[in-house]
Structure 1
Amino acid sequence: MHRRHRARQVINYVNLSTPLGVVIALVGGATVRRGEYGLLYAHGYRLRFPVAGAFTVGNVVLTAYPEGHLTGALLRHESRHATQYAFCVGLPMLPLYGLAVVLSWALSGHPAAWNVFERLADLDDGGYPRHPSRWRRGTLE
């Protein structure tokens, strides 16, 4: 494992975001196992919130899909979110992300298109569309 992944792993454990991710995975009925980049994969997540193909809390990447879903671009995207938890000092990432969703929705009508966290994690890798802002379209729908 690269030093940066090990450092992120330690930071996200100490800032309590990874332990929270494990609790969410277990409450959601997911099976947790070690994965690449120092991440934990939680497959089979059964709760209906949040609505996403995958989401990350600390170093835990959760998905409703079976094993094999977390690969390639999507895995790199989710790994970047794990790094964001380390830089946002853990749990404050949750309300900050919620605020980013609200702002993105207001700007574009889509929760991820103008979400700073999704943009920094690469919208394309996450499978998100690139919506223009409502102001660029000339309408405030």
Structure 2
Amino acid sequence: MSGWQWVKVVGNFLNLSTVAGLFVGVLGRATFSRGPRGLFFANGYKLGFPVAGAFTIGNVILSKNPRAYFEDAALVRHEERHSWQYFCLIGLPMLPLYVVGVVISFLLTGDPASRNPFERLANLKEGGYVERPIQPIGKTVTQAFSVLRSRPKGP
């Protein structure tokens, strides 16, 4: 690891974001392993939220997928950029700010990632996202209601 990566590892531990990531991984009954550049992988995450192939809290990358999922170097680079975002935002304030980014992106494009500044700074393509164009808000609302209507109704 480089000197700056050590700074990020220590910083994200002290700002409690990595501690929170480890806690979420334990709650989700994930299996932990060491990753590159001070990252930890938490595979086999069993909780249904968030709905994502992988997500990062501090220096912990959580995924419902097996460890082989992280053989995709571009995905690991993308998630590592999120770990730097936790460092720069002094830890857990990243979470509500990320949610604001999701809402803004969804309102602008109908997609939670396309205009989310955190995903854009982490490289949309490396995260497996497709950039969607900005669209009228009426179209976004119509899309959201059609998705809600198409969901199966509960018992």
Tell whether the structures are fold-level matches, with TM greater than 0.5.
Answer: yes
Instruction: Quote how far apart the aligned CAs of 1:140 are.
Output: 3.5
Query: What is the TM-score of this pair, normalised by structure 1?
Result: 0.95
Q: Deviations over 1:3-31 (max 9, x none)?
A: 11111101100000000000000000101
* DSSP-derived class of the 2:107 partner: helix
Which residue does 1:132 correspond to in 2? 133
Which residue does 1:30 correspond to in 2? 30
Partner Cα distance (1:129, 1:4) in 2: 30
Aligned residue pair count: 138
Q: Deviations over 1:58-95 (max 9, x none)?
A: 00000001111113100000000000000011010000
Which residue does 2:107 correspond to in 1? 106
Partner Cα distance (2:125, 2:96) in 1: 24
List structure 1 segments (4+ residues) > 6 angstroms apart after TM superposition: none
Query: What is the TM-score of this pair, normalised by structure 2?
Result: 0.87
Cα RMSD for the two superposed structures? 0.9
AA of the residue aligned to 1:128: Y
Partner Cα distance (1:122, 1:55) in 2: 14
Instruction: Report the identity percentage.
Output: 49
Answer yes or no: is 1:118 the counterpart of 2:119: yes
Which ranges in structure 2 are unaligned for 5 or more consecutive residues? 140-155
1:1-141 equivalence runs, <5 A: 1-71=1-71, 72-135=73-136, 140-141=138-139
AA of the residue aligned to 1:19: V
